[in-house]
Structure 1
Amino acid sequence: MPLQSVELVLDAVTDEAVRGLWAALAQAGLPSQADHQGPTNAPHVTLAAVPLVTAAAEQALVPLAARLPMRLELTGPALLGERRPALVLPVAPDAALDALHRHVRSALVETVGMVDELPWRPHITLARRLPDDVATAALAYAASLPIPSAAVATAVRRWDPELRRAWLVG
């Protein structure tokens, strides 16, 4: 079953900068999120990914909007995962972001009874499932590009892969 997600939407400046990174990777012949042309494909930070987000869980997420906008510090590109890693821009953890994430996990546990069990590593994805022989080159190329040092989270959205639809919460 594909996972539904709760995500932070980024401000227009960061969205444009990340899409520029996607385009640069693609123009260099490297894997990139630019390869995914779906209308819901947008730079974001995933807060949680679970098999189901119920209407009650979504309603419990509405208060998150009051915590936004939120500044996010970005660090240089990195590889995330061991086999076929993702190329990402990590988000530096801080108290406000950690509190937001805890709220999402709590809302999902209370209303759905489940959360993703993997350690949360907030990031913006530049490319997914890189072949091992391409990952190092993609990382080196991304590191040579102008990388934004900060972003602003402006909204919370939900993504439902079965409906192939994303919408803002709250």
Structure 2
Amino acid sequence: MPLQSVELVLDAATDAAVRGLWQALAQAGLPSQADHRGPTNAPHVTLAAVPVVTATAEEALASLAARLPLPLELAAPTLLGERRPALVLPVERDGAVDVLHHRVLGALSSPSTADEPPWVPHVTLARRLPEDLAPQALALARSLPTPTAGTATALRRWDPEARRAWLVG
């Protein structure tokens, strides 16, 4: 069963900067999120992913969405994962980001467990990079101006089975 996600939506300026990075990668002939033409494809930070989101959880998420906006610090582009890594802009984990992440997990009744990989908040620039292209994509991304700060302005839900995304709250 595909997992439904809860995501942070970025402010317009940060969204545009990330889309600019997507375009630069694509124009260089490298894999990029710009290659994903779906109408729901947008820069975001995934907070959690679970098999089912109940109506009760949706209500709790709406109350969390009311606490936004939330400032975000972004780090330099890096590779995430070993085999066919993702090219990402990491989001610095601070108290507010971690608290929101844990509250979202609590709303979803999905506490993190020891067997799950640790949560690494990030904005994806490219997924599943072939091993031979990863260094080139990283070098290009690092050579470009990248946002160092942004704002999470809303919570968004993504249901991959329905192929639908919507703002919460």
* TM-score bracket relative to the smaller structure: over 0.9
Letter in 1 for 2:118: P
Structural mapping, 1:92-131, within 5 Å: 92-109=92-109, 117-131=116-130
Does residue 1:20 correspond to 2:20, yes or no?
A: yes
| CA shift in 2, pair 1:8/1:159, >3 Å | same
- 1:115 Cα offset (Å): 5.5
- Give the Cα–Cα distance (whole angstroms) in 1 for the partners of residues 52 and 123 of structure 2: 22
1:147 match = 146
Q: Please, what TM-score do these two structures have when normalized by structure 1?
A: 0.94
Query: Percent identity between the aligned chains?
Result: 74
- 1:137 Cα offset (Å): 1.0
- 1:114 Cα offset (Å): 6.3
Structural mapping, 1:64-103, within 5 Å: 64-103=64-103
Structure with the bigger percentage of helix: 1
Show structure 2 runs of 5+ residues with no match. Answer: none
How many corresponding residue pairs?
167
When structure 1 is superposed on structure 2, of 22-31 and 65-74 the one drifting more is 65-74
SS of the equivalent of 1:84 reads coil
Does residue 1:50 correspond to 2:46, yes or no?
A: no
Structural mapping, 1:30-41, within 5 Å: 30-41=30-41
- 1:66 Cα offset (Å): 2.6
- Give the Cα–Cα distance (whole angstroms) in 2 for the partners of residues 161 and 115 of structure 1: 21
- Give the Cα–Cα distance (whole angstroms) in 2 for the partners of residues 54 and 143 of structure 1: 41
2:61 match = 61
Does residue 1:133 correspond to 2:132, yes or no?
A: yes
Is the Cα–Cα contact under 8 Å of residues 14 and 151 in structure 1 kept in the other structure?
yes
Deviation string 1:77-127 (CA, Å, 9 cap, x unpaired) is: 010111111000000011011100010111112xxx565832110000000
SS of the equivalent of 2:165 reads strand
Show structure 1 runs of 5+ residues with no match. Answer: none
When structure 1 is superposed on structure 2, of 51-60 and 38-47 the one drifting more is 51-60
Q: Deviation above 6 Å: which 4+ runs of structure 1? A: none
When structure 1 is superposed on structure 2, of 17-26 and 54-63 the one drifting more is 54-63
- Give the Cα–Cα distance (whole angstroms) in 2 for the partners of residues 29 and 144 of structure 1: 16
- Give the Cα–Cα distance (whole angstroms) in 2 for the partners of residues 64 and 90 of structure 1: 22
- Give the Cα–Cα distance (whole angstroms) in 2 for the partners of residues 145 and 45 of structure 1: 21
Q: Please, what TM-score do these two structures have when normalized by structure 2?
A: 0.95
